[in-house]
């Protein structure tokens, strides 16, 4: 049977359409998916992201271990609470997962990984942490809510005691901190401002109801996907996986090669790819005709064939957008095979939408 988050019954009560997502019964939408999308771009929405795994890595060697485990360099995390986005690679440089790591103190880092890779990640992290004498704890006691949109922070802060609310509102982008039993971070996956809040499972339902009462819309994974794609953010399993490396996944910016002595897993493979130059790259596409771009559609470019990795209709732009993996150096216009027809599309640099505004 599929796993359920602490909010499962509430989703049912709110009339959500529940689907299987990576082995979890998750809400895809409550009413109109496009309506939920617009709520986040224009005001605020709340998502249940409790299916993601929260791992606490504790011990004196936590930083040393994570510098070996991750392609981005946690040495960049100097201020407590600071977050870093990173890939976790296999020795061939393939992406095992993308994740966020928070530096809480010298003995405690918090890592948030994808639901679909939860078990594999946990096994990988536990195995590689063995020599470091660390404690790796899966925080199944926590639920996670993402509250996103231009009004998200001020609405969510109303759930906190005044002193905590002030502290939450003072957080800089990509910082988090513990406020009582809650961990509040100014992060997200929508291209809007907002918080991601990790909280005891028992607090999740009352928090959600209070947010609804404040006018924050319940939003499902459907809207989450169109929002992240407009924001030009990759989805693990669609836009990159074990068979693709960061340089062909528009994630070169997350690979830290500058520190020569840091021998992270996948480094040797990435260095040789960087020397030779990546043969493929991940780019953004805007469809210039009517229709909808979808994952796995074929892309025809001057330099050869490519493939859409994520595609959708963009509710903000009212046209179809996509991420596609194409031969390196592809520029200008391409054609996409959409249901047996060749349609014209234009290459753009993601993000497509940021803070409610079109960037294309």
Partner 1 sequence: MSNVPADLSYTKSHEWVRTLADGTVEIGITDHAQQALGDLVFVEVPEAGRSVKADEPCAVVESVKAASDVYAPIAGEIAAGNPRLAAEPEVVNAEPYGAGWLMRLKPSAGALAAAALLSAADYRKLLEAEGSS
At closest approach, how far in Å is the CB of 223 from partner 1? 9
Q: Is 309 in the site for partner 1 (CB under 8 A)?
A: no
Angle at 241 between CA 144 and CA 176, to 5 degrees: 30
Among 2, 12, 13, 32, binds partner 1 (CB under 8 A): 32
Among 29, 72, 249, 254, binds partner 1 (CB under 8 A): 29
Cβ(325)–Cβ(307) under 8 Å? yes
Q: Is 315 in the site for partner 1 (CB under 8 A)?
A: yes
At closest approach, how far in Å is the CB of 23 from partner 1? 19
Task: List, in order, residues 6 or more apart from 109 with CB less than 8 Å away.
Answer: 56, 57, 62, 63, 66, 74, 101, 102, 103
Write down the residue that tokens 């992240």 correspond to: 228
Q: Which stretch binds partner 1 (CB under 8 A): 62-70, 158-166, 195-203, 284-292?
A: 284-292
Task: List, in order, residues 6 or more apart from 294 with CB less than 8 Å away.
Answer: 308, 311, 312, 322, 338
Consecutive H or E run containing 39: helix 33-42
Q: Which stretch binds partner 1 (CB under 8 A): 4-12, 267-275, 290-298, 321-329?
A: 290-298
Among 14, 18, 34, 257, binds partner 1 (CB under 8 A): 34
Report the candidate in 85, 94, 96 with the shortest Cα–Cα distance to residue 122: 96
Angle at 166 between CA 356 and CA 162, to 5 degrees: 120
Q: Is 246 in the site for partner 1 (CB under 8 A)?
A: no
Q: Given the complex with partner 1, which of 29 and 114 has the nearer CB atom?
A: 29
Name the maximum alpha-carbon separation found in the chain: 59
Q: Which stretch binds partner 1 (CB under 8 A): 56-64, 147-155, 308-316, 346-354?
A: 308-316
Q: Given the complex with partner 1, which of 84 and 308 has the nearer CB atom?
A: 308
Q: Is 116 in the site for partner 1 (CB under 8 A)?
A: no
Structure tokens of 183? 């961990």
Among 50, 129, 190, 226, binds partner 1 (CB under 8 A): 226
Binding mask 193-222 for partner 1 (x = CB under 8 A): -----------------------------x
Among 43, 292, 328, 359, binds partner 1 (CB under 8 A): 292
Three-state secondary structure along 222-276? Answer: HHHHHHHHHCCCCCECCCECCCCCHHHCCCHHHCCCCCCCCCCCCHHHHHHHHHH
Among 68, 92, 313, 356, binds partner 1 (CB under 8 A): 313
Torsion angle in degrees (nearest 10) through CA of 115, 309, 251, 100: -20
Among 14, 18, 22, 28, binds partner 1 (CB under 8 A): 28
Binding-site ranges for partner 1 (CB under 8 A): 28-29, 32-35, 222, 226, 290-292, 294, 312-313, 315, 320, 339
């Amino acid at each position: 049977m599929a796993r359920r988050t602490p909010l499962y019954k509430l989703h049912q009560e709110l009339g959500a359409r529940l689907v299987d997502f990576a082995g979890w019964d998750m809400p895809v939408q409550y009413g109109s998916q496009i309506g939920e999308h617009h709520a986040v771009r224009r005001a605020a929405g709340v998502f249940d992201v409790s299916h993601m795994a929260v791992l606490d890595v504790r011990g004196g060697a936590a930083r040393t271990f994570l510098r070996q485990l991750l392609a981005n360099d946690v040495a960049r995390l100097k201020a407590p609470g600071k977050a870093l986005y990173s890939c976790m690679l296999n020795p061939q440089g393939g992406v095992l997962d993308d994740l966020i790591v928070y530096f809480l103190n010298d003995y405690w880092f918090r890592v948030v990984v994808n639901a679909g890779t939860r078990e594999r990640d946990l096994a990988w992290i536990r195995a590689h942490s063995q020599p470091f004498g660390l404690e790796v704890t899966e925080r199944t006691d926590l639920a996670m809510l993402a509250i996103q949109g231009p009004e998200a922070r001020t609405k969510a802060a109303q759930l906190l005691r005044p002193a905590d609310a002030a502290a939450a509102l003072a957080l800089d982008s990509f910082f988090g901190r513990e406020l009582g039993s809650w961990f509040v971070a100014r992060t997200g996956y929508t291209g809007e401002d907002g918080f991601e809040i990790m909280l005891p499972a028992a607090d999740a339902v009352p928090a959600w109801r209070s947010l609804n009462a404040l006018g924050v819309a319940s939003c499902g994974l459907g809207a989450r996907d169109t929002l992240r794609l407009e924001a030009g953010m990759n989805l693990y399993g669609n836009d990159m996986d074990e068979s693709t490396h960061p340089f062909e996944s528009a994630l070169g910016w997350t690979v830290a090669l500058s520190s020569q002595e840091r021998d992270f897993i996948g480094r040797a493979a990435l260095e040789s790819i960087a020397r030779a130059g990546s043969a493929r790259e991940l780019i953004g596409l805007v469809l210039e005709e009517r229709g909808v771009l979808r994952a796995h559609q074929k892309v025809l470019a001057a330099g050869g064939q490519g493939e859409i990795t994520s595609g959708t209709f963009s509710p903000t732009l009212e046209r179809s957008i996509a991420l596609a993996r194409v031969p390196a150096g592809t520029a200008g216009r391409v054609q996409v095979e959409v249901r047996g027809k060749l349609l014209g599309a234009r290459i753009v640099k993601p993000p497509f939408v940021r803070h409610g505004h079109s960037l294309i």
